[in-house]
Structure 1
Amino acid sequence: MDLFGSSTFKALERGLDGSQLRQKAISQNIANVDTPYYKAKNVTFKQTLSEAMNQPTLQANRTNDKHVEFSKSTNTPLVQTNRNTMYNHNQNNVDIDFEMAELAKNQIYYNALIDRMNGRFTSLQTVIRGGN
């Protein structure tokens, strides 16, 4: 029995991975706010996550109904560099106000995922203890 293999746990895990990657990109942007020619990075994982969740499972020829269905899981968060803009005289395009807002938004998103994950673990703990 795979307690942590449900689609909810997998979605939460992928969301946390994406949030961690976004945190890293935002931190790099903030650290390089005054670096000449530095171009801001952005992580797109919410779209990737929703696409992964909405993808149908891969149909395979199963010879027995008890065989497990295959699924596609090739989607990964994408780190993109925005090279089309320039905010500073040194060719740098990091907007510190935008980055700080994105940092706060990512922190709220991460905390929401952690709260949801804790709720799932609490539910499992209640079941294991027999409802007490």
Structure 2
Amino acid sequence: MALSFDKALGIHQHTLGIRAKRAEVLSSNIANADTPNYKAQDVDFSQALKQASSKQRGVGLGATHQNHFSIQSQLQAQSQYRIPNQPDTGDGNTVDMQQEQAAYMENALEYQMSLGFLESKFMGLKKAIRGE
């Protein structure tokens, strides 16, 4: 009997990748807080999760031979520009450091939570394999 990791791990494998992408985007915002005309971005988690969990992820590659594997491109979470909460300070930068730091911390906690869920899934799989 074949083991399907997609079924065994559930949605947690997708959330980890999305949270990692969001951490990159948020850290880029923080790094560019003083860059003139920089526009803050964010990743829409619910939209990216729908894209990741659907069967139509990425672009399918055509096989030219019957023995070729079916390969799909990895999820590319799309970052979107954030609507600023503060008025323009004159330099065109839309980064609000307090908002970015809070979002980054929240994302880091949720990333750790996703890691914990995956760890518990793997522990359950190990127990099942061992017959415990």
User: Does TM-score exceed 0.5, indicating one fold?
Assistant: yes
Q: 1:123 to 1:100 in 2, by over 3 A?
A: same
Tell me what 2:96 maps to: 95
Pick 1 or 2: higher relative contact order, CA cutoff 8 A, min separation 6. Answer: 2
Unmatched runs of 5 consecutive residues or more in structure 2: 59-74
Q: State whether structure 2 residue 54 is matched by structure 1 residue 48.
A: no
Q: Mean Cα displacement is larger for which, 104-113 or 73-82?
A: 73-82
CA contact under 8 A between 1:16 and 1:113: conserved in structure 2? Answer: yes
Deviation at 1:48, TM superposition (A): 3.3
Unmatched runs of 5 consecutive residues or more in structure 1: 56-70
Residue pairs, 1:1-132, within 5 angstroms: 1-6=2-7, 9-50=9-50, 53=53, 71-74=55-58, 76-82=76-82, 86-131=87-132
CA distance in 1, matches of 2:44, 2:97: 19
The alignment's TM-score, normalised by the length of structure 2, stands at 0.74
Q: Secondary structure at the match of 1:16?
A: helix
CA distance in 1, matches of 2:3, 2:131: 19
Aligned-residue sequence identity (percent) comes to 28
The alignment's TM-score, normalised by the length of structure 1, stands at 0.74
Deviation at 1:52, TM superposition (A): 6.0
Q: Output the aligned Cα RMSD.
A: 2.4
